[in-house]
Structure 1
Amino acid sequence: MQRRKLDAAETLRTLGKSYNSGAEFAQVVVTDGLATPQDVLEAQSLHYGALQLDRSIHPVDSSLSGLLDPETCLTLSALPWLRIGDTIVIATSQPQNFDAIEAALPAEIGSVAMALALESDIHGEIAARHGSDMVRRAETQVDAPDSCRDMDRLTPLAALIGAAFALLAIGLLIARPDLFFSAAVLVAMATLLMAQILKLSAFCAGRTPPRGGGGRPRTTPPFSVLVPLFREENIARDLLQRLSRLDYPRAQLDVMLVLEAQDDTTRKALAETELPAWMRVIEVPDGPITTKPRAMNYALRFARGELVGIYDAEDSPAADQLLQVAHHFQRAPPEVACLQGILDFYNPHANWMSRCFTIEYATWFRIMLPGLARLGFAIPLGGTTVFFRRDALERVGCWDAHNVTEDADLGMRLARRGYVTEMIPVVTREEANNRPWPWIKQRSRWLKGYMITWRVHMRRPLRLLHDFGAWKFLGFQLVFLTAFMQYLLAPVLWSFWLVLAGWAPPLAAWLGTGQMTALLWCFLGAEAVSLMVGVAAVSRSPHRGLLPWVPTMFLYFPLGAIAAYKAAWELLTRPFYWDKTMHGHSTPDRPDAEIPEDQPR
């Protein structure tokens, strides 16, 4: 079949796109659908006078696998392929960078020659030969002292301390239940007050919206977007449609759909849809754990981008989101390593739970996180609509593959290394989890992850204090301890509603009437702060119709207590278990609800 040639107008347009975006001409040709990767490979072969290699026809010589490590091969898009006499043939999909490839080879290698191969063939061969080793490294690439991967190993000392604490608590409960309950009330009240002080401080500090947004970058660097998928057959087609709205030069966009090797259902769903040239599938080999951070660590090795973003399967980002992120990174100093966007929902009116979930997220992303950033605290990242400078991400070891809230942990490790996370006013909408048991399962994973993250970083409190400084150290305690302690001690706090009905708690015998009244007013004041902040959060969102539902939030959070006890049990029994949240059960409230049109106020 005769190869199609570009006419003069197409060539000029392609050259213009290449110049404006910074992408290679060949990549623009492919992503614009003017040629296939094979067409480009044949044209480059003629231009460079180089041999074409096809993985299905020309087997790779396994004896050459030690010349370059797989990570270097992926970075350079090159692979030692075969020998011809005394010459080693190096296949590449980027012939314009062959000088860098030669510089990376051992000095004693001798004569080399360049050949050309599709990037997919090079990546496929690397994955086939080195995938198991690479995924093992992906599981352990965070340094052991900073990882939770040893948390399922019970040392004799830890067992002794745990047993002693349990026996003490049980003994006190049996011998002096009044003293046990009174101590629990005081601890619960202290936690509640710390949480509300933090919430009020964040509210006051974050009254001004996050800076940034609204601009376009001078250049558009290569941008890799990782989308981890697991059993997402119900949402795969919608995901492709939503990601296709992204307004970023296609030749610089690298969307990676990350699948587990055993996930046949999602693979089948994707196979029914033709993927565009700027979107590809990365399969993660099997292993002892199946977690999102493990999958992302592996997939990042195959990424092309200088910037890296994360989306979830049900996400619907604003069209100009990546442009705004690139613009913000270009203006920000190098220590700004991460940008966190805002999450919202496209089904807030599905039922009462979705309304409450939307209010809760508005509080977290529009009040708490901007406030924490302005207070100078380290930000626990969200698992999606979060963006990184790739070099900084790799310097801190990327994600802890065993932590079920890898995002919050990564936020702390970035801060400990001196990097800064900023909030950026870009919005992604997703599906609100609005069914009771799936909500509890999701929340238990988050709370378990917060418990794990606090425990890991508090292994060496003095080192943490040194890394953070006193102010960030205080913020770390306020954010993480109050997050799970409030839920664990929630049943104790509920007793204050009985006090309003006339019940006299055991603590009353220890405190005077004035002190009990003060505690009661503290409890009511905390509820008032939550109500005020909830109203402010909804007012800053496009969901002002949810304002009448803010007072019902006190009925919503008791589900979190169930999740907290589930999390505590799993912390002891299976700390690395990832309780999967299934998506695709709730449709958008209206056809255009999934398209973010609001800017934070």
Structure 2
Amino acid sequence: MSTQFLKLVQATRVPPLMGPKKRAASTAEHASPLGAYLLDARAISPGNLAKALALQLREDARLGDILIANGWVTERDLMMALSAQYGIGFADTALPPHDLDMIRSVPWELCLQYTVVPWSQTGGMLILATSNPDKIPQIRAALPPGLGNVLFTLAPEVEVLKAIALGHGKALARRAEAKVPERMSCRNWATSLSSLVVPTLCIVLIFNLLFHTTMTLAVLSLLACALLISNVIFKGTALWFHLTEDKSEFHSHRDHGSQTKRPIISLFVPLFKEPRIAGPLVQRMARLDYPRELLDICLIVEEHDIETRMALARAAIPSWFRVIVVPDGTPRTKPRAMNYALNFARGSIVGVYDAEDAPEARQLHAVANRFAIAPKKVVCLQGRLDYYNPRQNWVSRCFTIEYATWFRLFLPAIKRMGLAVPLGGTTLFFRRDVLRELGGWDAHNVTEDADLGIRLARLGYETEMVDITTHEEANAATWPWVKQRSRWNKGYFMTWVVHNRQPIQLLRDLGLRKWLGFHMMFLGMILNAALAPLLWSTVVVAFGMHHPIMTLLPEWAVWPMALVFTLATVLTITLALVACRASHLRFLRLWVPLTLPYFQLTTLSTYKALFETVRKPFYWDKTEHGAFGGAEHDVQTPEAAGIERKPVIFGTPIKDTAPNIQALPDQLTKVPVIKVGTDGTIRRIS
């Protein structure tokens, strides 16, 4: 390949700090060699450089990223300065690599670890492009033997990652399908005994109904009553924990500072067949108030989803967004797409949002603060979910009430009870290293979030609730609601089966309390919904009619049964009323009694879910977003919303008014005083 793919920088402008000894001395004085080159080239003002150095003390970001994100230097000027600093050329990004075999000559693990990729060849020598020139010695030592001598060149990080995806994308996509250990994954469902659970139960049930009808109905009705009693106990306990909760715990997450540097956060937003919602999504995510140099928003789309990709191409996507295209494969699921994107995540924290989400602007500060002070075993934070279209109709009102009960009452109570938290699918935040250690998400599980919550608990990690809220679009039509709920129920049932492949090991991993809670929340929910019609049928006893359950119970048991049914109904209504105490939810209290027929739809969705575990276990019955107002809701720009885009230091905006270096100590605390020499060097003097 011709050398036209390289642009070399002349060495005549290299300042005095270029030599190794001078550079070491500069580092000892906490100076910035990169800043010296930028000042020497007149690419940046001293005031902006000083502000960038102040930010670097408080943020886990490279100086170059801070300068680019805040518009204080152009990418070309930065590349020129880095080229001079390290004495290497920089790649022509207009002519990216296209030789796949050449790219694959370096393993993807090494490429991703150091952000390096084979870029071109010249004179029989391989040229590697990297965005981390400070890592060149480590890269050289880690290269596979047989590559021979190599040269290094500079390239922007995004261009290096594009080239890695070009050469290794298909291999990474295949790996994304099977990252979770097989014993904890659904991927072998069709070839394992797991797939026989539902058919076997159906055969046994039909046989007994044909030959032992009365006794079978009686036993099932008794089981339904027992499950109802356990459900009443569980709900009553959750209500008690909620009412005795110390609310100050939540506020401390938002207000507590930390001496650690503010981290980079990667946000995953998977999209599939979402052309209607793509544009509004970009505007909503752009409202997140977090330093741009620390924000890595990844819009994840499938390779074959042309409509969504074109919608994103038409949208005005800010520079701190990335579109990650997932190579085609099976299954086409959200967890597979996120597993693929996890390879390219820049942040030490990984967050997950849905396509229709509208998160609070200051969410990420609360997340960063909480992770900074939380014990290392806390590896996941779960935020609250709410809906922005609760007034649309009866279904949306009931759905909003249900979400309020689950996220505002049940999940915090589950955490306080010491049980494993079944995660919701959005407003989730993870420590990236632990997420990779776990293998990410099960690509074949249609409720990958709940499954991940159990896997975290099995390894001794913890999930906490954090005081933030994301609004999303409530499903406001009956059949789409049933389809969505059937996917959730199918995933819960398959998760329960998979984790019970080794029941003794599951008990050892979780401990007795979490083990009982797991069965109650996963299997109990499915059985409660599936057997609910038998409970409804017992109402005939109140009218003096015979019911099969009375063959197993004495006559006096009718009154305790009636008491349990009444208590369950009153408790369900009470939980919803308590959950709707927030001011924006109080109007829903009048609608709470109408949730009783709403919950009966769960039975229909459960039957559909159990059927699909046999016929199409990995089928993702997709929810259409934007059909109920999500495409139009609150899509104003950050400027229209009054959000100021300024660098943030530990939650406090920096005043963008420093005209010179001498003025900075009066405006920022603990900022180093630096001096710019006539030769372009920068030294710290206090």
1:89 alignment partner AA: I
Asked if structure 2 preserves the Cα contact closer than 8 Å seen for 1:496 and 1:520, the reply is: no
Task: Kindly indicate whether residue 253 of structure 2 is the aligned counterpart of residue 213 of structure 1.
Answer: yes
Q: Secondary structure at the match of 2:300?
A: strand
1:129-528 equivalent positions in 2, closer than 5 A: 129-153=167-191, 159=196, 165-207=201-243, 208=245, 209=247, 211=250, 212-215=252-255, 216-218=257-259, 219-528=261-570
Residue 549, structure 1, aligned to residue 585, structure 2: no
Q: 1:546 to 1:164 in 2, by over 3 A?
A: closer
Amino acid aligned to 1:98: I
Is 1:184–1:489's contact at 8 Å kept on the other side of the alignment? yes
Structure 1 CA distance, aligned partners of 2:54 and 2:280? 32
**Correspondence 1:92 to 2:134:** no
Equivalent residue letter for 2:588: L
Question: 279-288 vs 78-87, which deviates more?
Answer: 78-87
Aligned-residue offset at 1:521: 1.6
Q: CA deviation at 1:541?
A: 6.3
2:631 & 2:588 partners in 1: Cα distance? Answer: 14
Cα offset, 1:325, TM superposition: 0.7
Cα distance, 1:392 vs structure 2 = 0.9
What percentage of residue pairs aligned between the two structures are identical?
43
CA contact (8 A) 1:31 1:276 kept: no
Q: For residue 88 of structure 2, what is the amino acid of its counterpart?
A: A
- The letter of the residue matching 2:270 is P
The separation in 2 between residues aligned to 1:147 and 1:472, in whole angstroms, is 20
Alignment partner, residue 679 of structure 2: none
- Aligned partner of 1:598 in structure 2 is none
Amino acid at match of 2:518: F
Q: In the alignment, is the contact (CA less than 8 A) between 2:446 and 2:487 conserved in 1?
A: yes
Paired AA for residue 44 in structure 2:
L
**Within 1, Cα distance between the matches of 2:126 and 2:483?**
54
Alignment partners' CA distance in 1, 2:532 and 2:205: 18
**Structure 1 residues 479 and 541, CA gap change in structure 2 (3 angstroms):** farther
Secondary structure of the residue aligned to 1:354 is: helix
Larger Rg: 2
Q: More deviation in 131-140 or 266-275?
A: 266-275
1:57, 1:395 → 2: CA distance? 36
In structure 1, C-alpha distance between the alignment counterparts of 2:568 and 2:330, rounded to whole Å: 44
Identify which range, 304-313 or 272-281, moves more after superposition. Answer: 272-281
Equivalent residue pairs, number: 591
- Taking structure 1 as the reference length, what is the TM-score of the superposition? 0.93
Moved more, 232-241 or 489-498: 489-498
- When the two chains are superposed, the root-mean-square deviation of aligned CA atoms in Å is 2.4
Question: For 2:61, what is the secondary structure of its paired residue?
Answer: coil
Provide the residue aligned with 1:54 in structure 2: 92
| Aligned partners of 2:277 and 2:631 also within 8 Å | no
* Distance in 2 separating the partners of 1:397 and 1:489: 36
Structure 1 match to 2:673 = none
| 558 and 16 in structure 1: CA distance in 2 versus 1, 3 angstrom threshold | same
Match status 1:26 vs 2:64: yes
Cα distance, 1:288 vs structure 2: 2.1
The 2-side partners of 1:416 and 1:97 are apart by: 36
Conservation of the 8 A alpha-carbon contact between 1:344 and 1:362: yes
Checking the alignment, whether the CA contact within 8 Å between 1:349 and 1:589 is kept in structure 2 is no
Partner Cα separation in structure 1 for residue 104 and residue 308 of structure 2:
34
Deviation per CA, 1:378-437: give whole Å up to 9, x if none: 101011001001111111111000000000000000110110111111111111111111
Structure 2 gaps of 5+ residues are 1-40, 642-686
User: Is residue 43–residue 77 contact of structure 2 (8 Å, CA) maintained in 1?
Assistant: no
> Structure 2 vs 1, CA of residues 39 and 261 (structure 1 numbering), >3 Å: closer, same or farther?
farther
Q: Give the Cα–Cα distance (whole angstroms) in 1 for the partners of residues 452 and 201 of structure 2.
A: 31
Question: What CA distance in whole angstroms lies between the structure 2 residues aligned with 1:140 and 1:390?
Answer: 18
Q: What is the CA distance between 1:167 and its match in structure 2?
A: 3.5
Deviation at 1:21, TM superposition (A): 2.4
Task: Report matched runs for 1:550-589 at 5 Å.
Answer: 550-587=592-629
Distance 1:395 1:589 in 2: 36
CA contact (8 A) 2:170 2:327 kept: yes
Letter in 1 for 2:233: I
> TM-score of the superposition, structure 2-length normalised?
0.82
1:599 maps to which residue? none
Residues 173 and 408 of structure 1: CA distance in aligned 2, closer, same or farther (over 3 Å): same
Query: 2 CA distance for matches of 1:528 and 1:382?
Result: 26
What code does the residue aligned with 1:192 have?
A: L
Point out the more displaced range, 65-74 or 509-518: 65-74
Return the offset for 1:7.
Answer: 3.1
Shift of 1:495: 1.5
User: In structure 1, what is the Cα distance between the partners aligned to 2:457 and 2:200?
Assistant: 35
Q: Name the structure 2 match of 1:13.
A: 51
